[in-house]
């Protein structure tokens, strides 16, 4: 595995523990080259491979990516089936090297509506990497932030559990990790598009014009440097934060 270049080696203390990414811009990347949209998604898988490696090298312990949203079903049928095929192919091709790098895969999202072939692929990849602990990679597939809140609330109601911020957090599809510290969106749009709506309450947001297939370790480093410069106040004043009263403010911010 070739080492990627780090423009800004970051002290571990100022690294986000959880980076989330809306990987946007695959279609435009392909269109600029007169290629079918699915070629952009294929190149997107290559970009994802590089970013996973960069996170492992830098010591980021959790990465969550938005691979297929609840709304993506409304895309042309050939693009939807292209994305399904790509996931299954990428998993069978990538799992051995993810395994070697200590990456554990999770697939937060709604399994209903996915074909048995896709569900089997997800479950096998999650099972085969379940013992790894260097990086947790959440590939959010058929995921939507609103779906997640509703399914969590429904589950608690069915079990007769009172809904509080804590119980609801614990019932979401990302309950196995802390909330994202940094949420990056590539592709130039300035919105969250129904990604981690509940979990991103206090995430630092970084938007870049870079199209996802062009996003590499150097682009990641720019986002990490931007994150390191941000002052996170969790609703408090700068003075309170400087005085060390961080406990109450971060009570609602979970870190697994």
Is 114 a binder of ligand FPP (CB under 6 A)? no
Encoded tokens for 216:
């590499």
Nearest residue to ligand FPP on Cβ basis: 27
Kindly state the helix (H) or strand (E) to which residue 227 belongs, with its residue range. Answer: helix 217-229
CA–CA separation, 126 vs 98, rounded Å?
11
* Whether the Cβ atoms of residue 202 and residue 253 lie closer than 8 Å to each other: yes
Q: Which of 16, 19, 20, 27 binds ligand FPP (CB under 6 A)?
A: 27
Helix-helix angle 217-229:37-58, to 10 degrees: 60
Asked if 224 is part of the footprint of ligand FPP (rule: CB under 6 A), the reply reads no
| Position among 24, 148, 179, 181 found at the interface with ligand FPP (CB under 6 A) | 24
Please give the DSSP secondary-structure letter assigned to residue 233: -
For the CB of residue 127, give the shortest distance to ligand FPP in the complex, in Å: 17
Looking at residues 164 to 203 of the shown chain, list those that interact with ligand FPP (rule: CB under 6 A): 187
Question: Is 49 an interacting residue with respect to ligand FPP (CB under 6 A)?
Answer: no
Tell me if 125 contacts ligand FPP by CB under 6 A. no
Active site members: 24, 72
User: Pick from 53, 54, 33, 57: which is nearest to 43 by CA?
Assistant: 33
* Count of residues engaged in binding ligand FPP, rule: CB under 6 A: 20
Nearest to 84, CA basis, from 139, 46, 24? 139
Site stretch for ligand FPP (CB under 6 A), options 12-20, 24-32, 104-112, 117-125? 24-32
Residue 99 exposed, middle or buried by CB count within 10 Å (0-12, 13-18, 19+): middle
User: What is the closest distance, in whole angstroms, from the C-beta atom of residue 122 to ligand FPP in the complex?
Assistant: 10
135 neighbors 61 (Cβ within 8 angstroms) = yes
Within residues 90-109, the interface with ligand FPP by CB under 6 A covers 90
Interacting residues with ligand FPP (CB under 6 A):
23-28, 37, 41, 44-45, 48, 67, 72, 83, 86-87, 90, 139, 187, 212
């Amino acid at each position: 595995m070739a080492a990627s270049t780090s423009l800004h080696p970051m002290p571990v203390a100022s690294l986000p523990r959880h980076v989330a990414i809306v990987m946007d811009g695959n279609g435009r990347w392909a269109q600029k080259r007169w290629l079918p949209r699915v070629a952009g998604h294929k190149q997107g898988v290559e970009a994802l491979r590089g970013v996973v490696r960069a996170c492992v090298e830098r010591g980021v312990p959790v990465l969550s990516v938005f691979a297929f949203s609840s709304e993506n079903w409304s895309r042309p049928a050939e693009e939807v089936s292209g994305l399904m095929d790509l996931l299954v192919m990428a998993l069978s091709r990538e799992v051995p090297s993810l395994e070697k790098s200590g990456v554990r895969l999770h697939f937060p999202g709604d399994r209903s509506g996915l074909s048995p072939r896709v569900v089997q692929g997800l479950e096998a990849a999650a099972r085969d990497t379940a013992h790894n602990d260097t990086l947790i990679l959440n590939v959010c597939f058929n995921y939507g932030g609103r779906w997640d809140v509703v399914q969590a609330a429904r589950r608690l109601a069915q079990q007769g559990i009172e809904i509080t911020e804590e119980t609801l957090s614990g019932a979401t599809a990302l309950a196995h990790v802390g909330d994202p510290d940094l949420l990056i969106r590539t592709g130039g749009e300035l919105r969250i598009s129904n990604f981690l709506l509940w979990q991103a309450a206090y995430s630092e947001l970084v938007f870049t014009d870079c199209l996802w297939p062009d996003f590499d370790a150097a682009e990641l480093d720019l986002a990490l440097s931007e994150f390191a410069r941000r002052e996170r106040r969790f609703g408090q004043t700068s003075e309170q934060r400087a005085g060390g009263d961080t406990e109450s403010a971060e009570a609602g911010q979970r870190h697994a």
